[in-house]
C-alpha cells in the first residue's frame, strides 16, 4: 500500500464520523428550511400578534423596570419563548415523523453513533430556534427597540436554552409513538412552562406562593437571564440562572444520549 493510500485511509477514518454528523445535520436543517413559511415565518407572525395585543393593552399600565416601557420589556420574552418552542418542535417533530413514516430505518443502518445523532438533531434545533428568534427580534424592534446592555448574556442563554429544548425534543420524540402523544407533551408541558416563565410579566408582581412556584421552573431562568442581556436588570442573578439552566441542560442531554445509546423505541 502506498503512502498516499495510507494517508487517504487515515483521513477517511478521522473525517468519517464528522462527515456523517454534517450530512445528518444538513438534512435536518434542509428539512425545516424547505417549509420555512411554516417553520420560521409563522412563529414570527404569532410573536408579533402577541406583542401587538399585550403591548396595546398594557403599555400604559405596567412598568417592570424603571424607564423601560412594557413593549420593550415584552420583546426579549417573546424572542426567547419563540427560540425555546421552535427548538423543541424541530427535534421532536423530525424524530416522530421519521418513526411513523418508517424512514428511520435508513439512519439505523448507518454507522452513526448516538453522539452523532445527538449532535445533528440538537444542532439543527438550535439553528431553527435562533433563526426564529432573530426573525422575531428583527420585526419587533420596530415597535420598541430595547437596549443591549449585556449582550453576552443574551447570546449565552439563547444558545443554551435552544440546546436544552432541542435535547428535550429529542427525548419527547423518542418516547412518543404517535402524533397525539407528541401534541400532549407540547401542549401540557412545553407551552405552560414557557407561558408561566415570566414572558409577559415579572415574577415580582406575583403573590409569594406563585413566585416560589415560578422559581421551580427552569424556563423562568432562561428567559430572565436572556432578558438580563437587554436591560442589565433581572429578577434573579444571571449567574444563578446560568447554573440552573446549565445543570438542567446537562441532565436532559445525558438522558437523551442514554436513550439514543440504548436505541429506546427506535427499533421495532
Q: Residue 73: how many CB atoms within 10 A of its CB?
A: 24
Q: Out of 59-73, 164-178, 214-228, pick the least confident.
A: 59-73
Give 5's pLDDT tier (boundaries 50, 70, 90): very low
> Measured between alpha carbons, how far is 8 from 81 in angstroms, rounded to an integer?
46
More confident residue, 246 or 12: 246
- For the ranges 17-26, 173-182, 219-228, the lowest mean pLDDT is seen at 17-26
Quote the CA–CA distance of 92 and 121 in Å, as a whole number: 9
Q: Compute φ and ψ for 5, nearest 5 degrees.
A: -65, -45
Query: Please, are residues 228 and 153 in contact by the beta-carbon 8 Å criterion?
Result: yes
Alpha-helical (H) ranges within the chain are: 3-33, 36, 42-58, 70-101, 105-108, 114-140, 151-175, 179-185, 191-195, 208-214, 218-231, 238-262
Over residues 7-56, the pLDDT tens digits come to 444 434 444 557 788 989 999 999 999 999 999 999 999 999 998 888 77
Q: How many residues does the chain have?
A: 268
- 146 Ramachandran zone, left/alpha/beta (phi>0; psi -120 to 50): beta
The predicted model scores a pTM of: 0.88
CA distance 116 to 260: 10
Least confident stretch, 122-126, 189-193, 199-203: 199-203
Q: Give the tens place of pLDDT for each residue, 65-111.
A: 767 788 888 899 999 999 999 999 999 999 999 988 888 888 888 88
Residue 128, C-alpha cell as written in the block: 431553527
pLDDT of residue 147: 81
Q: What percent of the chain has pLDDT over 90?
A: 54
Residues whose CB is less than 8 angstroms from the CB of residue 43 and which lie 6 or more positions away in sequence, other chains included: 82, 85, 86, 132, 135, 136
Angle formed by the axes of helices 238-262 and 114-140, nearest 10°: 140
Q: Give the integer Cα–Cα distance in Å for 134 and 82.
A: 10
> Coil, helix or strand for 208?
helix
Give Cα 210 distance to the centre of its chain.
25
Q: Report the pLDDT value the prediction gives residue 141, as an integer from 0 to 100.
A: 82
Mapped onto helix, strand or coil, the DSSP state of residue 147 is: coil
Three-state SS for 127?
Answer: helix
Amino acid at each position: 500500500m502506498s503512502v498516499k493510500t495510507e494517508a487517504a485511509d487515515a483521513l477517511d477514518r478521522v473525517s468519517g464520523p464528522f462527515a456523517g454528523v454534517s450530512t445528518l445535520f444538513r438534512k435536518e436543517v434542509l428539512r425545516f428550511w424547505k417549509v420555512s413559511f411554516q417553520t420560521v415565518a409563522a412563529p414570527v407572525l404569532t410573536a408579533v400578534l402577541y406583542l401587538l395585543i399585550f403591548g396595546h393593552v398594557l403599555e400604559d399600565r405596567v412598568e417592570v423596570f424603571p424607564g423601560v416601557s412594557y413593549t420593550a420589556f415584552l420583546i426579549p420574552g417573546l424572542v426567547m419563548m419563540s427560540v425555546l418552542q421552535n427548538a423543541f418542535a424541530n427535534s421532536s417533530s423530525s424524530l416522530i415523523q421519521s418513526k411513523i413514516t418508517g424512514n428511520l430505518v435508513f439512519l439505523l443502518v448507518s454507522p452513526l453513533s448516538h453522539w452523532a445523532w445527538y449532535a445533528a438533531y440538537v444542532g439543527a434545533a438550535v439553528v431553527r430556534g435562533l433563526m426564529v428568534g432573530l426573525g422575531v427580534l428583527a420585526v419587533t424592534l420596530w415597535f420598541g427597540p430595547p437596549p443591549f446592555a449585556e449582550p453576552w448574556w443574551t447570546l449565552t442563554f439563547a444558545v443554551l436554552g435552544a440546546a436544552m429544548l432541542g435535547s428535550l425534543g429529542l427525548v419527547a420524540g423518542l418516547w412518543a409513538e404517535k402524533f397525539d402523544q407528541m401534541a400532549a407533551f407540547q401542549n401540557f408541558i412545553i407551552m405552560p412552562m414557557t407561558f408561566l416563565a415570566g414572558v409577559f410579566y415579572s415574577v415580582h408582581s406575583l403573590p409569594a406562593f406563585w413566585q416560589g412556584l415560578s422559581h421551580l421552573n427552569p424556563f423562568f431562568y432562561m428567559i430572565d437571564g436572556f432578558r438580563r442581556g437587554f436591560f442589565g436588570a433581572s429578577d434573579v442573578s444571571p449567574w444563578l440562572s446560568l447554573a440552573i439552566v446549565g445543570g438542567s441542560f446537562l441532565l436532559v442531554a445525558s438522558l437523551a444520549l442514554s436513550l439514543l445509546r440504548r436505541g429506546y423505541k427506535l427499533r421495532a
